[in-house]
Amino acid sequence: MARDPILLTPGPTPVPPEIREVMSRPIPHHRTPEFQAVLKEVAAGLKRVFRTEQDVLILTSSGTGAMEAAVVNLLSPGETAFVIQGGKFGERWAEICRGYGIRVVPFNSPWGRPLDLNRASEEAAKDPSIRAVFSTLCETSTGVAYDIRGLRQAIGPKPLLVVDAISGLGVDPFEMDGWGVDAAVSGSQKGLMLPPGLAFIALSPRGWEAAERSGSPRYYFDLRLAREAWKEADTPFTPGISLIVGLAESLKRIQAGGLDQVLELNRRNAEAVRQAVKGLGLELYTDPSCASNGVTSVKVPAGIDGKELLKRLRKEEGIVLAGGQGKELAGKVFRIATMGAIGPEEIRAGLAALEKVLVQMGWKAPALK
């Protein structure tokens, strides 16, 4: 195949050439004024993308590291977490909490459907021991964007609100401060157009109070260390230097047109994918009323082997789509991302290849039967 494969996956997403170029330059030492200037620049840019006045700390790990950091810094063993579970990543919050001896009250939200805020409010009110509520912004496994502002209103001001915005940041609307979020986490390989390897976390003032008190074991992810170092434009351990150099470039790219424009482009691209998919006679998995700007889940049509479809797209067409995750969705859906640097050209190529391979596999659109 002549060209590089096109990633239409919700992480990793394609890394634009100008970002790859800056990351391939000779590596600076991290404890130098040169690199500290880069850290200060990304510190300001990250605040704008999180829409927060708080420090957004950089951790060198995949996104899940920041999820774990949120749990160990906010809660102590024996405390109670209310976890919105409407897909694989909501379940991950519950798994991390249990791993640290935190009591989990799961709130099962039907996959692919919007959050029932009235029911969430009722359920959360039943247990006064709830210290923190955990949700995803974009539940990448289904393509649902949850109503985080509504969730804060539903649970009231008391519990801490913790949001996994790993795939939603810079993709779906998100206002950390404006929506009363106490901890927000993200990662580098989704909307920020970087390779995997960096995670981000910001805490509200209440979140920091919790971090001072938490009795959970922590060392690498002790955010108090990261915050102290951050004051001096430093990190407690060797950071992912080259990725941070790339991050400065990625944030510049986002700021060039402004974050709102990026969100709007993603929204239009996702809408175009949904329309095109329906035009092909395929069915969307996710309720369009809660569909994320960043990922669209499509049902594998009857009579088509979902795994074979993705394999042929990858091998014969150089188009990489994501499959369904977990027992619930493996082989039943495939997912098309519209985040980061994925634009109309990549989407057109992806959809054309999808139609071609489906037809080769003997699929007939309902209207053509």
Ligand X SMILES: *Cc1c(COP(=O)(O)O)cnc(C)c1O
- Interface ranges with ligand X (CB under 6 A): 10-11, 62-64, 89, 136, 140, 164, 166-167, 187, 196
Between 96 and 284, name the residue whose CB sits nearer to ligand X.
96
Between 185 and 280, name the residue whose CB sits nearer to ligand X.
185
Between 67 and 357, name the residue whose CB sits nearer to ligand X.
67
Calpha distance 63→75 (Å, rounded): 19
Calpha distance 225→271 (Å, rounded): 43
Find the shortest distance in angstroms from Cβ 62 to ligand X: 3
Between 62 and 121, name the residue whose CB sits nearer to ligand X.
62
CA atoms within 13 A on the CB side of 14: 20
Between 52 and 140, name the residue whose CB sits nearer to ligand X.
140
Calpha distance 279→295 (Å, rounded): 18
Residue 296, both tokens: 């669209």
Between 143 and 301, name the residue whose CB sits nearer to ligand X.
143
C-alpha triplet 46, 16, 61: angle, nearest 5° = 50
Find the shortest distance in angstroms from Cβ 281 to ligand X: 28
Find the shortest distance in angstroms from Cβ 88 to ligand X: 8
Calpha distance 99→81 (Å, rounded): 13
Find the shortest distance in angstroms from Cβ 196 to ligand X: 6
3-class secondary-structure state, position 119: helix
Calpha distance 285→298 (Å, rounded): 5
Find the shortest distance in angstroms from Cβ 110 to ligand X: 18
Between 322 and 358, name the residue whose CB sits nearer to ligand X.
322
Query: Do residues 59 and 226 lie in contact, with contact meaning Cβ atoms separated by under 8 Å?
Result: yes
Find the shortest distance in angstroms from Cβ 133 to ligand X: 16
Calpha distance 146→112 (Å, rounded): 10
DSSP E strands, 152-294:
160-164, 183-187, 199-203
Between 11 and 240, name the residue whose CB sits nearer to ligand X.
11
State the pairing for strand pair 6-7/319-320. parallel
Find the shortest distance in angstroms from Cβ 11 to ligand X: 4
Find the shortest distance in angstroms from Cβ 164 to ligand X: 5
Burial class (CB in 10 A: 0-12, 13-18, 19+), 298: buried
